[in-house]
Amino acid sequence: MTSYPGSHGPPPEPGAESQPPRPAFKLQDFIILKTLGQGSTRYVSATRLVKHKPTKTIMAMKVCAYGIRRHERQELLNDLVSMHTCRSEYVVSIYGVFYQNPDVAICMELMDKGSMRQIVEATGPLDLGVIRTVAFSILSGLVYLYDAHGIVYGDLKPTNILCNSKGEIKLGDFSHSMSRWIEEGITASDEGAFLYYMSPERTSLEHVSPTLKSDVWSLGIIAIELAHGEYPMSQYHTDGNNGITFLNFAIAISTKAAPKLLPEGRDPSAEAFIDACLLKDPNTRPLPNELLTHEWIERSKDYNTDMEAWANSF
């Protein structure tokens, strides 16, 4: 096992509680408290709750990159170095990276309330005030990643949107460059999850890379899912045997009307926001920074939802 020099980083910003000191990590400096989950792909083997003994910081440790070639592993590490420099209240912090031969261990900020997928499965549909704050946080994270680091998230879905007990909503597992390593090992179930939030232009026969506007489409689908308590386009993902087919989805997303927030008239401003996210033509679909000025998002300044109280209600 070799300590990875990329785990060194600048000191935290004053008052930034989510940014502990960043030493060169090594496995013997951690106490493994419990396993939070097993990986869904052959490149993510486990996520663990750990305590970093020198700083007494509780973190999440994701063990990944099992089975990839040495030069690919180095490319992954290089990508993580870039992600490690991100400093935003809307993006999960990466504290350090080190080899745990033959794997790579990524130490990151603990989001103890889990993902939006887990939350909706536990609580059912969310209040629109909560969803508005979630949307604001996602948009702010997307804008930060692109403006500060030139990163297009490219893999927006409820499992990658995380919450902590303070009610903070953050993007996790970000950077499409990192996602490509995971996608190479996806199972049939994972492939479906990846397709569910793909924009119409990305389902075309031509290879279209993710963009800020494709992330906006994903946000629209996610907002409806959080409001309804279930994925809004599941009828297009079956082959008759509960199988997931790319062809079914690609045809449906190109020919069927985009889903709507129901019931209609529930909140016209929220409906207008989601409709804007789900414009099929990416040329007319707004960018994240434009959506931050949308009336529905702006209303959060006047009707502030107590996210901490909400996060501690489940």
Domains and CATH numbers, the chain: 5-109 (3.30.200.20), 114-311 (1.10.510.10)
Q: Give the whole-angstrom CA distance, residue 36 versus residue 46.
A: 8
Indicate the pairing of strand 169-171 with strand 161-163: antiparallel
Is the pLDDT at 280 greater than 80? The verdict is yes
- Residue 159's pLDDT is what? 92
Distances (CA, A) of 308 to 123, 141, 243, 313: 16, 19, 39, 9
Place of tokens 């592993």: 73
Most confident of 49-58, 79-88, 190-199, 249-258: 49-58
- Strand locations in 53-102 (E): 57-64, 94-100
Look at strands 44-52 and 94-100 and give their pairing: unpaired
Query: Is pLDDT at 202 greater than 80 in this prediction?
Result: yes
**Alpha-carbon span 88 to 66, nearest angstrom:** 29
Find the mean pLDDT for residues 231-245. 67
103 as an active site residue: the answer is: no
- Whole-angstrom CA distances from 193 to 48, 132, 141, 159 are 23, 23, 21, 9
In this structure, of 21-30, 176-185, 242-251, the range with the lowest mean pLDDT score is 176-185
CA distances from 24 to 6, 61, 79, 110, 196 (A): 8, 15, 17, 19, 38
Backbone angles phi, psi at 72, to 5 degrees: -70, -40
How many helices (H) and strands (E) would you count in the chain?
11, 8
What does the alpha-carbon distance between residue 282 and residue 276 come to, in Å, rounded to a whole number? 10
Least confident of 40-44, 77-81, 150-154, 261-265: 40-44
Share of the chain above pLDDT 70, in %: 74
Q: Spot the catalytic one: 29, 79, 103, 155.
A: 155
Stretch 79-93: mean pLDDT:
83
